[in-house]
Structure 1
Amino acid sequence: MGKRMTEANTTSVLIVGGGPVGLAMALLLDRFGIDCAVVEKSATTTDHPKSRGCWVRTMEIFRQWGIEDAIRARGLQDKSDMFVFVESVAGREIGRTRPEPNLGQTPAWKSLVAQDAVEEEIYRVVKASRHARVLFSTEFQSFTQTEDGIEATTRAASGETTTWRARYLIAADGAGSATRRSAGIDMVGPANMATICNEYWRGDLSRFPLAREAAGYRVIPQDPHTVASTILNTNGRDRWLTLLPVGGATDERPRPWSDAEIIQIIRAQTGVPDLEVTLLNRSVWRMTRQVAASFRRGRIFLVGDAAHRFPPTGGFGLNSGVQDAHNLAWKLAYVLKGLASERLLDSYDLERRPVAESNADFSTGNMRRFPLTEDAIRSGTPDRIRFWINDMDKHLHSIGQALGFSYEQGAVIADGTVRTGHDTRVYTPSDRPGGRFPHLWLDLARQQSTLDWFDRDFAVVAGPLGQEWLEAGRSVARSLKQPLGLHMLPTADPADGFQMGLRGAALVRPDGHVAWRMPWLPSDPAKELGNALQALLR
């Protein structure tokens, strides 16, 4: 029997799923002062490491939230972003990739950190928030769209059913999203590329220096009949994630392996016949490459794995999801506060779906590189081995993929310039509309970045001689009753990505992406700026 509707069951945004993306959405909405509720069927945050890295843009966002250091402290040591190809962890090393060079283009370098740690640190903030609440052990059951919102039902572990009323519904309930299916949104792309068994286990490998040095180990035994497998590093000491292929479209084993058999496989992988192994967690999952046909249907929005499912090769699943939330939250907040029309919400799908497609292609390419490298190693040909292990650098040297994406359509006013070629390994900073505004340190202590200017409000950033743009910004903020940050660059060196010149300006969105740019001073800067802002928000 449904629970009677009360004020307590009314919220602006109802979020289905309390994984890293659902929690990130709640944290962001709280920062904007928007009330929201997260319903999560599990009793706690995840106890499985799942994803294995937070890349540069995600760490920049964590830095803004004040959790970068806490998350980094729970990750692997610096320069561990390598794959090592071995016959076993204790055995012969065949070769290794190189750490990605940090060229100083970001205030927050990437971190090899497991998802369970990330979820715990985000939840720590959300738990203490004023406007967000998280309901664990609560299953989302159904919803209907009304003219002005959503009506939904949830069921607690006690069996009590609750009715909710919300303005918007966020589906953050993972790859098998029932919310997405109920909304009638299809996934596009292959659903079954491989079936993998994940085995999370504890075993002390700290005696091997290799255990601290790399993010992952590709184990290619001498026996050509023994399948290659992967061990992923979660803490550099005693917790590991073994990935074992068990089939194509389905699990092709005659029967699931017993615990004793899994332990024997792990001992063979590590090359330690008497290793004491404790099995912690097991899951069998399908590798897919799918992107939703649309990220929105009415008042329902898809984020994270509910919107896109990639092969894990490249680590873009969690990262893409956090950035989905970062893109959508400010738009929801602006609409709910009456600062923008509903039309702004259309830009979410236009902006994020092409990024998801790009990340899906990048991840799939990385997946295809593994068997080619394995074939080279088994061939025993030194030049062939050298070529493919060198090519494996492209798997984790991905700052161009992580930072270099640009929104070509959506809440962006194009200025006629043409986007340059996309290089997944190389990030070229630019203040061109659509891209993330370039990072520049503002103090000698390297504590304050230009990225710190963008959080809850639009911001006007003027060149070093662009004082008139700041005056125009004050005028526009007053006339449109729109809060605007006002900032002036200390320098506008094109080498740092600034094409606005000494007297130009850019209008930057709360998520740090450039919305509009004028690299000169017009006769009426307030008119130009006001027109741009109104075009974006009305």
Structure 2
Amino acid sequence: MEKIHILYFTNWLYPRFSGPYASSSLDHEPLRGGEILMGYECVSIDTTDECVTATASFSKEGKLLTRKIQSKILIGADGAGSMVRKLVGIDLKGEKDLQKLVSVHFWSKDLGRYLLNERPGMLFFIFNTEVIGVLVAHDLTQGEFVLQIPFYPPQQNLEDFSAEICKKLILKLVGQELSDIDVIDIKPWVMHAEVADRFVCGNNQIMLCGDAAHRFPPAGGFGMNTGIQDAHNLAWKIASLLNGVAPTSILATYETERKPIAVFNTALSVQNFRAAMAVPATLGLDPTVANSVHQVINKGFGYILPSGMQKAILDGIFSIGRSQLSEFILNENNPLGSSRLAKLRHIFEEGKSLQLQFPAEDLGFRYLEGALVPDGDDVVPAPELPTGRRRDYVPCADPGSRLPHMNVKVLSNFPSEETISTLDLVSENKVEFLLIIAPMEESYNLAQAAFKVAEEYKVSTKVCILWPADTVTRVQPGSKAKLAPWKNYIDVIEVKRSLDSSSWWSTCQMTEQGAILVRPDEHIAWRSKSRAVGDLYSKMKIVFSTVLGFESMNS
């Protein structure tokens, strides 16, 4: 039996292993840390209090073989159709079958050059009397594209989307002569908006990450952003557990923190998708009508008709629908066309179509509970409902929020000091907490207490003394004296964009008497708004024990 620290099952059937060298009792090469095995599929999962045993199948010399691998943690990052999720019996909740599509991956440098010169862009919704599709430009310079085409099985099947047929569809959509279309792949897929019931199971040993935990409509980039955020949230918690810094209960906070964000982003992506569909609906091509017609043919009177006749009826109805885009109808002299064009202009002018930027959601999401300490007077707000409209990101230092950005200059005794972001103060290569304070006597005392508690918990902690703009120019010997014998600290000074720019503490909506403890994932674990007084050691011990999950074990 092979033993490792972490086993990841990712999409494309490539599991990845992390951990030390492990000997094998089977006739296979031993596993090593960071190894990727191609063509393996998870077929069963068993758990005990000590470990997870995954059985993976693979093909070798024409034979189907299996391999058992033991790990402390198993991560299902194996996509929307996650086999890990299915094997552990986690259900999805939400809206199914929003739309069926065929994805066509192709190359054409001719198309890339045309778009770069005439219509540069990344996303193109194309509607004409012959075909409808969404063209995504992955690389205009190299000419790499993915085309999404509505798909209506069983009347349509993949044979209706052969490489040659797809080339013709691309030419009809683009309206340009292209001599170098190279179709790489053609795959059907179904758009869902669902979130897993659980992100963590099996005694905090099995976790779902990315599309395995949530699947969204591709409207706004929420799938990738939310998946990356999942990994960012989970990485430092796993590292803390494996390094002996935190108990297994810290992994339960992954679901506590990430699931509400996934639920919110699912609703927002659905709203954004439906906003995008308002454009064809205004033009007389309402996708909900098309889907209803398809349902009637599948389950209504059309079900008794021969398949060929069903296809002919569906094609005929869709052809009539696309005729709404003809110049005969869609022009200013036609009352119907003029009305539709006016409504279309209103949609764009009001910003009610597809939105591609969501800074408040991408940067401003906040964890309300989990590996953090809420403010003592913090009233947990009611869950905010997504509006589907762009909202600006407003920095703040509420527990669970992302650390705000500000340019700061590292103070040193050399002529040229380095200017970095406050986000760069968080270590990127180890599990380390960051305590940000102002150069005040009480705050230095708080930092001393934090260092003592962190040493007891064996967790690395760095202190940042953040000086107001234009107050000092070199390293301040006072910090060294006030923090001795601890040496893991850094002096930085604010770099303001202009004279009227907000100070650091104003940006955080705090005063300089406060302090901010930042987690390794750049989210705020705890803050103090007021001057540090009282038993600071006991205060910091409660903070670290709560964030690391020890307090939950004792409660």
TM over 0.5: yes
| Structure 1 residues 419-472: Cα deviation after superposition (integer angstroms, max 9, x where no partner) | 776775311111110111111112399852111222421221113533333223
Q: How many Å separate the matches in 2 of 1:36 and 1:202? A: 42
- Corresponding residue for residue 526 of structure 1: 537
Deviation at 1:18, TM superposition (A): 5.3
SS at match of 2:54: strand
Q: How many Å separate the matches in 2 of 1:190 and 1:311? A: 10
Residues 362 and 14 of structure 1: CA distance in aligned 2, closer, same or farther (over 3 Å): same
2:224 aligns with one of 311, 318, 339? 318
**TM-score, length basis structure 2:** 0.71
Residues 418 and 169 of structure 1: CA distance in aligned 2, closer, same or farther (over 3 Å): same
Question: Does the 8 A contact of 1:438 with 1:496 survive in 2?
Answer: no
SS at match of 1:321: helix
Residues 351 and 180 of structure 1: CA distance in aligned 2, closer, same or farther (over 3 Å): same
Verify: 1:480 aligned to 2:450, yes or no. no
Q: How many Å separate the matches in 1 of 2:344 and 2:21? A: 52
Question: Does the 8 A contact of 1:246 with 1:252 survive in 2?
Answer: no
Unaligned runs of 5+ in 2: 23-31, 284-329, 331-336, 411-416, 469-501, 551-555
- Corresponding residue for residue 271 of structure 1: 175
Q: RMSD of aligned C-alpha atoms?
A: 2.8
Verify: 1:219 aligned to 2:126, yes or no. yes
Deviation at 1:386, TM superposition (A): 2.5
- Corresponding residue for residue 451 of structure 1: 423
Q: How many Å separate the matches in 2 of 1:392 and 1:191? A: 24
Verify: 1:236 aligned to 2:140, yes or no. yes
Q: How many Å separate the matches in 2 of 1:35 and 1:252? A: 53
Verify: 1:470 aligned to 2:447, yes or no. yes
The higher relative CO (CA closer than 8 Å, separation ≥ 6) is in 1
Deviation at 1:240, TM superposition (A): 1.1
Q: How many Å separate the matches in 2 of 1:428 and 1:418? A: 19
SS at match of 1:192: strand
The amino acid that maps onto 1:525 is L
Q: How many Å separate the matches in 2 of 1:368 and 1:152? A: 40
Q: How many Å separate the matches in 1 of 2:137 and 2:244? A: 47
Question: Does the 8 A contact of 1:173 with 1:179 survive in 2?
Answer: yes
- Corresponding residue for residue 209 of structure 1: 116
Question: Does the 8 A contact of 1:470 with 1:487 survive in 2?
Answer: no
Q: How many Å separate the matches in 1 of 2:281 and 2:121? A: 22
Q: How many Å separate the matches in 1 of 2:534 and 2:354? A: 47
| Structure 1 residues 210-258: Cα deviation after superposition (integer angstroms, max 9, x where no partner) | 567211111122x3xx4532111111131111110113xx554165323
Verify: 1:135 aligned to 2:145, yes or no. no
Q: How many Å separate the matches in 2 of 1:407 and 1:369? A: 27
The amino acid that maps onto 2:444 is Q
- Corresponding residue for residue 386 of structure 1: 345
The amino acid that maps onto 2:7 is L
1:245-284 matched pairs, under 5 angstroms: 245-247=150-152, 250=153, 252-253=155-156, 255-284=159-188
| Structure 1 residues 320-374: Cα deviation after superposition (integer angstroms, max 9, x where no partner) | 1121111112112212222112221111111111111111111111110122122
The amino acid that maps onto 1:438 is P
Deviation at 1:380, TM superposition (A): 4.1
Question: Does the 8 A contact of 2:355 with 2:390 survive in 1?
Answer: no
Question: Does the 8 A contact of 2:43 with 2:57 survive in 1?
Answer: yes
- Corresponding residue for residue 302 of structure 1: 208
SS at match of 2:198: coil
Question: Does the 8 A contact of 1:218 with 1:229 survive in 2?
Answer: yes
Question: Does the 8 A contact of 1:21 with 1:304 survive in 2?
Answer: no
Question: Does the 8 A contact of 2:14 with 2:41 survive in 1?
Answer: no
1:10-89 matched pairs, under 5 angstroms: 10-17=3-10
SS at match of 1:217: strand
Q: How many Å separate the matches in 2 of 1:147 and 1:506? A: 37
Verify: 1:493 aligned to 2:511, yes or no. no
Q: How many Å separate the matches in 2 of 1:22 and 1:486? A: 39
Q: How many Å separate the matches in 1 of 2:407 and 2:14? A: 29
The amino acid that maps onto 1:536 is V
Question: Does the 8 A contact of 1:174 with 1:304 survive in 2?
Answer: yes
Q: How many Å separate the matches in 1 of 2:15 and 2:354? A: 30
Higher mean C-alpha deviation, range 463-472 or range 13-22: 13-22
SS at match of 2:185: strand
Unaligned runs of 5+ in 1: 38-129
Structure label with greater radius of gyration: 2
1:461 aligns with one of 436, 440, 445? 436
| Structure 1 residues 379-406: Cα deviation after superposition (integer angstroms, max 9, x where no partner) | 4445422232242576112111111110
The amino acid that maps onto 1:334 is S
- Corresponding residue for residue 409 of structure 1: 369
The amino acid that maps onto 1:435 is S
SS at match of 2:96: coil
Q: How many Å separate the matches in 2 of 1:504 and 1:359? A: 32
Q: How many Å separate the matches in 2 of 1:142 and 1:457? A: 36
Q: How many Å separate the matches in 2 of 1:392 and 1:277? A: 34
Question: Does the 8 A contact of 1:12 with 1:35 survive in 2?
Answer: yes
1:144 aligns with one of 36, 41, 46? 46
| Structure 1 residues 120-148: Cα deviation after superposition (integer angstroms, max 9, x where no partner) | xxxxxxxxxx9422112222221201121
The amino acid that maps onto 1:528 is K
Question: Does the 8 A contact of 2:505 with 2:511 survive in 1?
Answer: no
Q: How many Å separate the matches in 2 of 1:385 and 1:525? A: 61
Residues 447 and 138 of structure 1: CA distance in aligned 2, closer, same or farther (over 3 Å): farther
SS at match of 1:193: strand
Q: How many Å separate the matches in 2 of 1:190 and 1:502? A: 47
Residues 394 and 514 of structure 1: CA distance in aligned 2, closer, same or farther (over 3 Å): farther
Higher mean C-alpha deviation, range 393-402 or range 13-22: 13-22
Question: Does the 8 A contact of 1:12 with 1:167 survive in 2?
Answer: yes
